[in-house]
Amino acid sequence: MKSVILFRHGKSNWNASYSNDHDRPLNSRGIKAAKKMGQYLLYKDQIPDLIISSTAVRAKTTAQLAIKSANWQSKFILERGIYGGSPKYLLELVRSQNNQYTSLCLVGHEPNFSSFISNATGHGYLDFTTANMAKINFNVDLWIKVQFLKGKLEWHQQPKNLKIQ
């Protein structure tokens, strides 16, 4: 089985000065939520083998805070294409991964992530607010075999529903 965790970046700071959308940082709520979600995966014993983050500041920072808060030992890479990437792009990114990994976490943006979840699982629209995570399982042994409509949504979590500090 192969698993994909989608992790939307934390709440960003619209009042910060930045040169373009790609450079927008997290606000204090986004920082807290990113750490909380990192702890959540540790609590569930579902830390991914590989984390692939958008290069956008808010996504990259979300990933780094989650990793640090729970001392994840995962491989971490940046992928510029996640920023603005379509669900089809995300599928091809997943399908191109090394089979040594059984689970991966994509850290990125809306509306791509809720669309990817809908396409992967056949579920209707999922309200995927900031710092949400969703785990999709695919009953395959190779990443290249991952297909839309073949995934099963295992869980969807929002930081506001967690009692973790």
Predicted local distance difference test score (pLDDT) of residue 41: 97
* CATH number of the domain within which 28 lies: 3.40.50.1240
What does the block give as tokens for 57?
Answer: 């500041």
What does the block give as tokens for 162?
Answer: 């967690």
- Residue-range definition of the domain harbouring residue 48: 2-161
Predicted local distance difference test score (pLDDT) of residue 165: 65
Taking the chain (165 residues) in consecutive chunks of 10 residues, what is each chunk's mean pLDDT?
A: 98 77 90 97 97 98 97 97 97 99 98 97 93 99 98 97 81
How many domains, in total, are found in the chain? Answer: 1
Predicted local distance difference test score (pLDDT) of residue 143: 99
**CA atoms of 25 and 46, how far apart (whole Å):** 27
Predicted local distance difference test score (pLDDT) of residue 22: 87
What does the block give as tokens for 54?
Answer: 């958008």
Whole-prediction pTM: 0.95
What H or E segment, with its residue span, contains residue 11?
none
